[in-house]
């Protein structure tokens, strides 16, 4: 999927949020500046959670409660984490079942938190603001979902 602008990325995140439910784990990967936090801003808007949504690089994780009786959003930035033991220290599994958990830079670190997850890779196209988003569903939760969960 090609998203031409940051606003398109936020809008895509908001549409994706309509498909999310408590217990969902999303693992975001991509280079610095690719748009991971921008996508999370859209997801947060779609879930109608309290913001603002900024990169939690230094606090590692933020919980954004729902404003409309939906699931809270747990937003994690694993960039500064050194490995699985530091992920364990966050106790993400304690809130996983009732929250939508989105982990930036989580590839190779958080897959053990859930059998089902949506892996989202975001890349920038050279020379412009466009992003290329690739989704991969893992586990039974995403088994019957097309490669783009917004299609089906």
pLDDT in tens, 10-33: 999 999 999 999 999 999 999 988
Q: How far is CA 67 from CA 41, 44, 75, in A?
A: 15, 11, 16
- What is the enclosing helix (H) or strand (E) of 39? helix 36-47
Alpha-carbon gap, residue 46 to 107, rounded angstroms: 24
Give the SS3 label for residue 60.
coil
CA distance 91 to 133: 29
- Structure tokens given for 95: 């809130």
Q: Is the pTM of this model over 0.75?
A: yes
pLDDT of residue 89: 56
């Amino acid at each position: 999927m090609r998203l031409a602008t940051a606003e398109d990325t936020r809008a895509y995140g908001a549409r994706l949020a309509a498909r999310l439910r408590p217990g969902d784990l999303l693992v975001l990967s991509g280079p610095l500046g690719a748009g991971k936090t921008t996508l999370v801003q859209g997801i947060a808007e779609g879930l109608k959670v309290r913001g603002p949504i900024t990169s939690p690089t230094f606090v590692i994780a933020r919980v954004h409660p729902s404003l409309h009786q939906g699931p809270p959003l747990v937003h994690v930035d694993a960039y500064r984490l050194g490995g699985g033991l530091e992920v364990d220290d966050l106790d993400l599994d304690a809130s996983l079942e009732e929250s939508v958990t989105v982990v930036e830079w989580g590839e190779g670190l958080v897959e053990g938190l859930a059998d089902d997850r949506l892996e989202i890779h975001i890349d920038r196209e050279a020379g412009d603001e466009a992003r290329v988003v690739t989704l991969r569903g893992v586990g039974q939760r995403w088994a019957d979902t097309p490669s783009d969960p917004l299609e089906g």
